[in-house]
Amino acid sequence: MAMETIDSFIGGTSSPPLEAQYGEKIDPRTNRPMKRVARSSAKDVDLAVAAAMAAQPAWADLRPLERGRILVGVGRAVRDHAQQLGDIESAETGKPGHEMPGLIDLVAEFFEYFGGVANVLDGELIDQGPNYHVYTQQHPYGVIGVILPWNAPLHQAARAIAPALMAGNGVVAKPSEHTPGSLVALARIAVAAGLPAGLFNVIVGRGRTIGPALVANRAVGKISLTGSVRAGQELGRLAADRVLPLTLELGGKSADIVFEDADLQAAAHGVTRAFTWNSGQWCAAGTRLLVQRSIHDAFVALLVEAVGELRIGPDHDATSGPITTRDQFEKIKEYLSLARTTGLTAAIGGHVAEAPHLGSGLYIEPTVYTGVRNDMRIAREEIFGPVLCVIPFDDETDAVALANDSDYGLSAGIWSRNAGRIHRVARRLEAGRIVVNEYSGGFVQTPCGGFKMSGYGREHGLEALAHYSQTKSVIIRL
């Protein structure tokens, strides 16, 4: 039986690569080839950008309310096709199927939210006396390049594409070559729901080819990248020659802080989800656990119990699925080996997960290391897997110092029942999102982005719209 082929989607239709090159996509649950995936070239990128350029002016000239209605319709269509989209992403990423309805609902919500805030795109009138009429306008960039990772393809896409479209831009989106199918399906659904053909294009191929081609195309006005620090640095160097604006959400090594007055049972389950959701493959994962010394041993015992309840496997109801790519699987194994040679103790886990029902899939045991110091490599580098480092602290000052002693600043968690402590610590933490008494990705309405090497610019919320348009002042002497 022939494998399914995933081609680019350009100008509202399927677009095979001009150079007819293809690669294979590996099924993370079996470690075997599952799809044939296009390897597009710079020429394919230019076709996609040209399609977006052709469609964008008429789109930008629509009343914001009309653009908003179309985007709300896209959100409705996403809900209508939730099963299809969820099945594709679950198969390509290895995510347990039961997680997909919530994720697809969030994808729909991005289009509904940004479609619903259409009228906030108004400019402002600036009073300069009776001899002048001065106002501002929000001007779209034209074409936005969106470069996406493999860990949460549809979520990461929707949070960039929805505000980019609402601001009047066309989009060329590049999914990871490891997980392209769901985004191609989303683009088809959007066009069928009324989005003009050519506005939302998907270019399938390798990042090393597509990223530089997007930067080089002078019709691309801005790029949004979600990915590793290395990818952000490389893109930034290329973009500097054109002074091309970027929105970057990069890596993380987020601190999850548990104080002695917290609800420890709730915190144990929340901390577990913080580092094991999506098998630890999310940049905001809480992978540095800071525990007040007075409760350290008792809390670790509760944590080990909660982690031990996780069900690893390929089935729909598993609570921990496989690692999505073979390269990432090997990288995590290297960190497990590093921990052993460093003499760290695994309170639970620490190995590749092996069991008959796992076959040759890419599974890692959810792992908790104790005795970790904040200066160790395993505590400072992003592992991007279900690996947690436990570090004790003495008081608030110590906790904040440890949390901020990191190259990253994407997210942080606080577990406490002391309102004063919560506000003091949240104010002092150097992170773009602070979550208290749970650990989550936040809401569509709340800005999301990093401090330090976790990137710059913001997704989510009204602030995202400001990153997909430019302010123009108009000064008229009367």
| Residues annotated as catalytic (active site), given as ranges | 151, 249, 283, 459
For residue 41, count other CB atoms closer than 10 A to its CB. Answer: 20
Token pair belonging to 374: 């904040």
Residue 140 is which amino acid?
A: P
Nearest-angstrom CA–CA distance, 103 and 86: 8
What radius of gyration, in Å, describes the C-alpha atoms of the chain?
23
Helix, strand or coil, per DSSP, at residue 115: helix
Residue 120 is which amino acid?
A: V
Pair type for strands 255-258 and 246-249: unpaired
CA distances from 160 to 224, 374, 379 (A): 7, 33, 30
**For residue 422, with 0-12 CB atoms within 10 Å meaning exposed, 13-18 middle and 19 or more buried, which class applies?**
middle
Residue in 260, 291, 200, 270 with CA at minimum distance from that of residue 418: 260
Q: Would residue 223 be called left, alpha or beta, if left means φ above 0 and alpha means ψ between -120 and 50 degrees?
A: beta
Q: What are the start-end ranges of the H helices in 343-395?
A: 377-380
